[in-house]
Amino acid sequence: MRLGDLLSTFEGSAPLAAQDQERLDRLYAHLCQQTEMFLGYPVAKDFDCRSVARFLELPLNNIGDPFAPSTYQVDTREFEREVVEFAARLLRAEGDTWWGYVTNGGSEGNLYGLYLARELYPQGIVYFSQATHYSVSKNMHLLGMRHIMIRAQKSGEIDYEDLRATLRIHRDVTPIIFANIGTTMTEGKDDIAKIRQIFAELAISQSYIHSDAALCGFIAPFLAPRPAFDFADGADSISISGHKFIGSPIPCGIVLALKHHVDRIARSITYIGNLDTTITGSRNGLTPLILWLAIKRYGEGGFRARVAHSLEVAEYACCRLREIGIEAWRNPNAITVVFASPGPALCQKWQLASAKGQSHLVVMPNISREQIESFIADLVKDGGAL
Ligand SMILES: Cc1ncc(COP(=O)(O)O)c(C=O)c1O
């Protein structure tokens, strides 16, 4: 049974007027169809949230800090703590040196990381590559942070020479690195071990590194070689999207940070009997349950298998595109396949995100070889690339 059918069985709700019900039904049918044709965005569709649907009857709110007691008790903060703890272990945070919460998405986690960095180093300069997600410029603007854009390589990874040269000029100012662990278009990953090496060469002793692992937070831990991006590699904070690789019907995410950084900004709020450590006050109580379900369903072994599946199908897609004469490539160990954009009708049909004549497929765990074949058949019919 799909969630829509389940919700319509709830007792006690006033019936909708017939035309309103019809509109909802039409929308539902349209969205089901649109979901079938979904290859261009990194959104896993194979979630199963039936066991938490009944929580929609409750005014859930995880207001405030998930680790501090609150007077608002219609919450799921106990489950949220388990989700954050699972992520902290996966991202190699030591003992109880970490803190985190379930966010509204990767962008909020990135805002949080930058906010912490600004509170610690108000005069710091943020360095980020030109392949960084568009929301980050807005975040830096909101926070009023000084920032410098660094060149990106074709892969999407930051250009270390440009970073080194730029840091050398500003050695007197604390650098705040906004590292991409999977860029939006090509899934390029910045190597924070290399960045730390540059700090060492330039005798920079104070710094902050935020990892934007929106897509790859639950992928990179299972790759060999393991990319340098997490707490053991020297990150100060990490943001992950929940609705991307993990999968959720509601946008969400997880942000983690070193606890001693967060302690510097915590303020006690009497009204909620809690700490004001999160970006928003009221917070979603359903998404922690959805992420908790995914973690229980897959466990580390299941996530590892999902990664292996996506990598295998991504390689298959890349080879098939080349076989039909379309220029296609992917970064090592990436689930994103980049290729010359097809015509607008196919971009629209398969919802392909496209920029500068390039499109990408993001091979999420629910994508099968059969779906790739239907896409390939459409491309062949359409006459291939532009
Ligand atoms: C690299 C990167 N960072 C951040 C985000 C923003 O994440 P969200 O959509 O979860 O806010 C995205 C989204 O596509 C992304 O690709």
Which residue CA neighbors atom 7 of ligand 1 most closely?
106
For the record, the structure tokens of 286 come out as: 């359903």
- Tell me the CB-side half-sphere exposure of residue 284, using CA atoms within 13 A: 21
Nearest CA-CA partner of 40 in 380, 308, 335: 335
Quick one: which atom of ligand 1 is closest to the CA of 251?
A: 10
**Nearest CA, atom 15, ligand 1:** 184
Q: 3-state DSSP call for residue 12?
A: coil
pLDDT in tens, the chain (386 residues): 455 555 555 555 678 999 999 999 999 999 998 888 888 889 999 999 999 999 999 999 999 999 988 889 999 999 999 999 999 999 999 999 999 999 999 999 999 999 999 999 999 999 999 999 988 999 999 999 999 999 999 999 999 999 999 999 999 999 999 999 999 999 999 999 999 999 999 999 999 999 999 999 999 999 999 999 999 999 999 999 999 999 999 999 999 999 999 988 776 556 666 677 899 999 999 999 999 999 999 999 999 999 999 999 999 999 999 999 999 999 999 999 999 999 999 999 998 988 889 999 999 999 999 999 999 999 999 875 44
Neighbours of 218 (CB within 10 A): 28
Longest dimension (CA), the chain: 70
Say how many Å lie between the CA of residue 269 and the centre of ligand 1.
Answer: 31
Say which amino acid occupies 142. L
In order of start, what are the domains of the chain with their CATH numbers? 56-295 (3.40.640.10)
| Ligand 1 atom nearest residue 107's Cα | 11
